[in-house]
Structure 1
Amino acid sequence: MSQIIYKIAPEAMWREAERNGRFAGAPIDIADGFIHFSTAGQVHETAAKHFAGQTDLLLIAVDQAKLGDALKYEVSRRGALFPHLYAALDLDAVVSVWPLPLGADGSHRFPKLEGE
């Protein structure tokens, strides 16, 4: 299994996290009590389901090995296990940040992901 998991976030929210040195989560994360992540095999569907048509998004790649015991894989969509972080994200665990633009067909254009 890949050590890299992914978070999609609005650029303004992520830039604020960079200034603060940590990411506490998007409003949905805070409401649910954990930060939602996706694996490489899940993140395309996550973008289509939760971020359809949205611009100014970033794709954040995180080294799950640096998250410790606060990271749990739990059942979510259609019984699949999704990574959930029960803590703020320490930005030291972030390995890369990419823009996630919309293509002409309205779907997001992803870079090549580790684990695909």
Structure 2
Amino acid sequence: MATIFHIAFPDQWEAAVEAGCYRWSTRDKSLDDGATFIHASRPEQVATVANFAYDDVDVPLCLLMIDTAKLESALCDEDLDGTGMSFPHIYGPLNLDAVVDVRPYHRGPDGLWPEVSPEAVS
């Protein structure tokens, strides 16, 4: 099983469970608003993304742990910014059965969003 993560607000995840699929691309952007894919990260990328895109968020988030083999939408690994670092992108809605775990994600004592170790996914 290859595992990727998506950073989410808990209320958006709860709404997705009620709706039957998850459609949030990233913070404040959804597939319904014209976003073309859902941003995801490998374990070693989560903290970098969180500390960049969610740097001013002071409420706990959650991490959707996604089994890529269960995805119904296309998954592409892309470097869209030309930085030399590629990220997994889900092109379409995230089917709920591909989410194998939902973990609370809190800032660390230093005020930063913490690293997620590759061992944490096993």
Q: Structure 1 vs Structure 2: percent identity of aligned residues?
A: 33
Q: Report the equivalent of 1:96.
A: 101
Unaligned runs of 5+ in 2: none
For residues 1-47 of structure 1, give each alpha carbon's deviation from its aligned partner in whole angstroms, at most 9, with x where no partner exists. x6000000111111100111210114434343100000112111011
Query: Secondary structure of the equivalent of 2:89?
Result: strand
Instruction: State the AA in 1 paired with 2:9.
Output: P
Instruction: State the AA in 1 paired with 2:75.
Output: L
Cα RMSD over matched residues? 2.1
Q: Report the equivalent of 2:121.
A: 114
Query: Secondary structure of the equivalent of 2:55?
Result: coil
Query: Secondary structure of the equivalent of 1:108?
Result: coil
CA distance in 2, matches of 1:58, 1:104: 17
Note the 1:64-75 alignment, pairs <5 A. Answer: 64-68=68-72, 70-75=74-79
Unaligned runs of 5+ in 1: none
CA distance in 2, matches of 1:25, 1:72: 17
